[in-house]
Amino acid sequence: MNGRLGFRVMNGLLQAAIVGSLLVASVQAAEPIRVLIVDGQNNHNWKSTTPILKDFLLKTGRFTVDVVTSPPNGQPKEAWNSFRPKFTDYGAVVSNYNGELWPEPVQRDLESYVSNGGGLVIVHAANNAFTEWPEYNKMIGLGWRGADFGPRVTVDNDGKVVETAKGEGPGAGHGAQHDFAIVVRDREHPVMKGIPAEWMHVKDELYHGQRGPAANMHVLATAFAAKGVGGTEANEPMVWWIPYGKGKVFTNVMGHADYSMKCVGFQTIIDRGTEWVATGKVTIPVPEKFPTATTTLSDDAAK
Ligand code: ZN
């Protein structure tokens, strides 16, 4: 080998090594997931809760977060012409919206976004929305609807999912707000893996009697709705997911108010659920300081 050829070979090897290490680096530092929070109407204080959602999602370092705000309630139809969220720009859409039905094109956009593999996360009263939108009902499985709307889903004390027929038993409601225990029902699910089997959630409304098509429901966590606080004496679904086409819809009915959303458990489930619907994987760790079976933990107390 003459000197010149030797130099070329060495140079080629060096270039290959540099390209190789760049490839490794780009695989290791995962691209941030783009998240879109939708708000603008809610019978809850979305102006105080959206910033909390945004803040704790950003703190994971895993997401970038945009917010799209709808027109307020009662505006003329034209006010909605500029409300055209570009769902396909995002890995996940988080709904903090409970209000007027979106314009038809926006409904169709959300349906095609999720069915083509997009991720949708439903927070608390977002499952109260859109009773009259059939595909939305399929996506969320259970919503804040009357007993005649569809079946109800609970979990018995052996962990078996029980369906109650349409018209039988209570419709949607909740008792008085209180701290309550969350019981994880699928500890192998990527979102739930590493989360304690039972832990106390900060004061919240405990939704019961939710109704809907309830097809393909995967119940991930429940809470017992005690009669003494206005509940149903049943293990009510708190967290579940549903496949919709190639996409996933992840619902967490906790999160009534700012204090409920400060629960470390609530935040961990939204963070990991959002990552999971976007990528099918969970890399966000369960925080070392986590609520226990007897004590709640708010994020300001966890620091
Ligand atoms: Zn509420």
Residue 16 in any domain: the answer is: no
Residue 260 in any domain: the answer is: yes
| Ligand 1 center to 174 CA (angstroms) | 9
| Ligand 1 center to 173 CA (angstroms) | 10
Which residue, 50, 93, 39, 59, is CA-closest to 255? 50
Can you read off the two tokens belonging to residue 113?
């976004």
Residue 14 in any domain: the answer is: no
How much is the pLDDT for 302? 81
Residue 253 in any domain: the answer is: yes
Residue 237 in any domain: the answer is: yes
Which residue, 237, 234, 230, 228, is CA-closest to 184? 237
Strand-pairing partners, residue 183, are 198, 222
How much is the pLDDT for 15? 56
CATH code, 37: 3.40.50.880
Low-confidence ranges of the chain (pLDDT < 50): 1-2, 24-28
Residue 11 in any domain: the answer is: no
Bridge-based pairing of strands 63-69 and 33-39 is parallel
| Ligand 1 center to 16 CA (angstroms) | 57
| Ligand 1 center to 158 CA (angstroms) | 29
| Ligand 1 center to 151 CA (angstroms) | 22
How much is the pLDDT for 16? 53
| Ligand 1 center to 204 CA (angstroms) | 8
Burial annotation 173-212 (CB, 10 A radius, 16+ → b, else e): bbbebbebebbbbbeebbbbeebbeebbbbbbbbbbbbbb
| Ligand 1 center to 262 CA (angstroms) | 15
Residue 7 in any domain: the answer is: no
Strand-pairing partners, residue 156, are none
CA atoms of 117 and 278, how far apart (whole Å): 8
| Ligand 1 center to 125 CA (angstroms) | 6
Can you read off the two tokens belonging to residue 54?
């945004």
| Ligand 1 center to 30 CA (angstroms) | 35
Residue 51 in any domain: the answer is: yes
| Ligand 1 center to 295 CA (angstroms) | 22
| Ligand 1 center to 178 CA (angstroms) | 12
How much is the pLDDT for 300? 87
Q: How many domains does the chain have?
A: 1
Per the structure, the complete domain to which residue 172 belongs is given by: 31-302
| Ligand 1 center to 209 CA (angstroms) | 14
How far, CA to CA in Å, does 253 sit from each of 1, 102, 257? 71, 21, 12
193 Cβ neighbours under 8 A, 6+ residues apart: 187, 282
CA atoms of 118 and 162, how far apart (whole Å): 29
How much is the pLDDT for 1? 45
